[in-house]
A and B are shown apart, each in its own frame.
Chain A
Amino acid sequence: MLLQVFYLVYLWLNFLDMGLFYHIGKYFLLLKRVFAKPEKLNVYYKETLKEIQKLGINSMGIVAIISVFMGAVITIQTAYNTENPLLPTYLIGLGARDSILLEFSSTIVALILAGKIGSNIASEIGTMRVTEQIDALEIMGVNSASYLILPKIVASVIFAPFLTLLSMLIGITGGWLAGVLAGVVTTENYVYGIQYAFNPFYITYSLIKIVVFAFLITTISAYHGYNSYGGSLEVGKSSTKAVVHSSIFILLFNLILTQLLLS
């Protein structure tokens, strides 16, 4: 037992030695620069609108596709698990609703966004770093960290809740379609189920989570992109790291927020 504890301590120390504190410190120093006073508010405003288009509106398609299939699969799986004739079929709607509202439309959508916009942000900023565009901004006297990252954070934090709401709506609709077409639930029972014992806080909880996740995805990906050095190979590595680290932190904060908000 004691040996195992020592081994775990040894592994943990090795993990710290890999520069965990160095990266955390560097990440917060970057955030300090990001949240410095912007040089020109109207330039940042225009950039934010562009980012809303790029990171938010352009993600609606993928979120819609994932949500419809997610809703459909959850409904069929719930139906499969509630085949007992003693269980009312409206439970299928209820189960699908709760799964979609509580977990899928926030966490799964966030994981998808980590792949889509996380890699996009890391590769865009990383390419700007290796092609000296960030140096060019610095030479001009522009706070490059703030100019490049702040509009992305604002855009994703503002738009991600809309994506989650969209995902909830489409997911529940997808569930209804699949349920009715597969003949596992009637429209009446499904609608009754999604209305049964509805707690509006589930939506608030989901929106709080997605705001935190959006912030994590944007800042972690921007951090990796901003600290890319070398060439295209390093940009690719940064992009991968951005997705992996964002996903890990999404899962970690999912646990923390769930414990804080639902326990």
Chain B
Amino acid sequence: MIEVKNVYKSFENTDVLKDINVVFEQGKTNLIIGQSGSGKTVLLKSIVGLHDVNKGEIIFGDTVFNRLNFGLKKEMRKKMGMLFQGSALFDSSTVEENVMFPLDMFTDMSYSDKRERANECLKRVNIINANNLYPSEISGGMQKRVAIARAIALNPKYLFCDEPNSGLDPKTSIVIDNLIKEITIEYNMTTIINTHDMNSVMEIGDKVIFIYKGEKWWEGTKDDIFNTNNNELNGFIFASKLSQKIKELGAKK
């Protein structure tokens, strides 16, 4: 479980996050949604400690993460995996070397054991026969799956995904979403996903938090989301003509 308590974050004179309070539950896929520039990525990066918050607490289990010193934060981070918007795979390493990297750094496993674990993770994300390819030689969807494999190599307790579907076609997006959902259940992780993809919300949104202009505007499940009277949230969900059409069709029925 991860708890965000009264978090404020600003850059120079711009307030980006204002009094955010939310609990992300273990074994569930927690989605943060909102428009571009609403503060989703800043919130996610603040949770993982890439940004220092101005005020408030980020609590992982019983530990106030943002109060830890550099060394303890480093230890804590070994329990985290993160999938970045652009995958962030190491360009100069092959697919297999990318997945083996956390094992190289933090375990004393033998080379064959590390390879076995890396292949296990790659198999789990359905990457086969691509071990010796470089990230530039594989598709965007494959890169995301390799990044997931790297993120789960050390059996993390927490998984963070920043816009995992950006740049992917709808079909591949669903594959990635379902993979994240399955892995979350399998590893009993606390997963937080930043997205503005409504398909993701409907596929895997166990818990959904809507961020609007740096504030938490709404919280609920994917089933609650279409019945809300929150104008800003409705404006966000039904922004496209297609979704408006679907809403009208739903209303006619």
Contact = CB atoms under 8 A, between A and B. Distances in A.
A139 B82 contact: yes
B105 A39 contact: yes
Interface in A15-53: 39-40, 43
Interface in A42-88: 43
A131 B49 CA distance: 18
A142 B80 contact: no
B77 to A, nearest CB: 4
A17 to B, nearest CB: 18
A142 B50 CA distance: 13
A43 B88 contact: no
Contact of B74 (A128, A135, A141): A141
Nearest to A138: B50
B171 to A, nearest CB: 25
A40 B105 contact: yes
Contact of A135 (B50, B76, B81, B106): B50
A141 B88 contact: no
B140 interface: no
A136 B91 CA distance: 13
B203 to A, nearest CB: 25
Nearest to A131: B86
Given A40-B105, A43-B104, A141-B106, A135 B78 contact: no
A132 B45 CA distance: 12
B48 interface: yes
B105 A43 contact: yes
B48 A139 contact: yes
B90 A140 contact: no
Contacts of B102: 140
B85 interface: yes
Nearest to B74: A141
Contact of B84 (A43, A136, A141, A143): A136
A204 interface: no
Interface string B159-181: 01000000000000000000000
A195 interface: no
A133 interface: yes
Interface string A157-168: 000000000000
Given A39-B105, A40-B105, A132-B84, A139 B77 contact: yes
Contacts of A131: 86, 88, 91
A143 B74 contact: yes
Given A139-B48, A140-B77, A133 B106 contact: no
Q: Most chain-B CB neighbours within 10 Å: which of A40, A131, A135, A141? A: A141
Contacts of B81: 139
A244 to B, nearest CB: 26
B136 to A, nearest CB: 12
B105 A133 contact: no
7 contacts: A128-B90, A132-B84, A133-B89, A138-B49, A139-B160, A141-B75, A142-B105
Interface of A: 39-40, 43, 127-128, 131-133, 135-136, 138-143
Given A132-B84, A141-B76, 4 more contacts: A43-B105, A131-B86, A140-B102, A140-B106
